[in-house]
């Protein structure tokens, strides 16, 4: 696990530069999850480190495979200086620990909800998991291990989350795109929905 996390951190540093801060959270019965903060001009990026140490297991499986299964880390990008977004650190750690705690597989198209605003004054309590491969390239590991995917998180308002449940992730993303929604705005209003 330590070797995988060292490779993951190296990939994050290659893609995002040197982190300017990091915090660690350990939940009872789980591995330590760190959240690294990277500053890129007027954008702050938060990336988890620790979720990929173990493969995510199918919740229907009787026994979790210690080798096979998808691996991922989470990346959230927001505009700096508009809100106290550093309060998202613990919530990101909770989301990153959810495969170990709740036995879920975090994959593109999924909705993750923390049940409270992501940061003070945020109109979002949930995120949409987007496709990997953009900002941070997938990290191949030695066979039979699956690659580590760096999954972007897109904050959703409660109306957007409800609309996504009915219409699907693809339609919500198309709506954001057609409306020119700034998904990095930490205080943005909900996109216009039908």
**Over its length of 194 residues, how does the chain's per-residue pLDDT go in tens digits?**
789 999 999 999 999 999 999 999 888 777 899 999 999 999 999 999 999 999 998 766 666 667 788 999 999 999 999 999 999 999 999 999 999 888 889 999 999 999 999 999 999 999 999 999 889 999 999 989 999 999 999 999 999 999 999 999 999 999 999 999 999 999 999 998 87
What ranges make up the beta strands (E) of the chain?
21-25, 33-40, 43-49, 71-79, 111-113, 124-129, 148-157
Q: Is 191 helix (H, G, I), strand (E, B) or coil?
A: coil
Give the chain's length.
194
Helix-helix angle 158-167:169-178, to 10 degrees: 120
Q: Is 101 helix (H, G, I), strand (E, B) or coil?
A: helix
Q: Is 151 helix (H, G, I), strand (E, B) or coil?
A: strand
d(CA 12, CA 79): 19
d(CA 190, CA 66): 40
């Amino acid at each position: 696990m330590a070797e995988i996390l060292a490779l993951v951190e190296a990939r994050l540093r290659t893609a995002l530069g040197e982190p300017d801060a990091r915090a660690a959270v350990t939940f009872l019965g789980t591995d330590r999850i760190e959240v690294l903060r990277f500053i890129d001009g007027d954008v702050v990026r938060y990336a988890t480190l620790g979720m990929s140490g173990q493969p995510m297991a199918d919740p229907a499986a009787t026994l979790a495979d210690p080798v096979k299964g998808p691996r991922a880390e989470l990346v959230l990008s927001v505009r700096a200086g508009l809100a106290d977004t550093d309060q998202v650190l613990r919530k990101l750690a909770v989301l990153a620990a959810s495969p170990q705690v709740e036995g879920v597989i975090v994959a593109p198209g999924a909705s993750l909800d923390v049940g409270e605003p992501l940061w003070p004054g945020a109109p979002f309590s949930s995120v949409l998991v987007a496709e990997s491969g953009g900002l941070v390239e997938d990290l191949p590991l030695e066979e039979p291990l699956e690659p580590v995917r760096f999954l972007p998180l897109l904050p959703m308002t409660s109306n957007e989350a409800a609309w996504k449940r009915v219409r699907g992730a693809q339609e919500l993303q198309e709506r954001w795109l057609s409306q020119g929604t700034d998904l990095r705005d930490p205080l943005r209003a909900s996109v216009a929905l039908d």
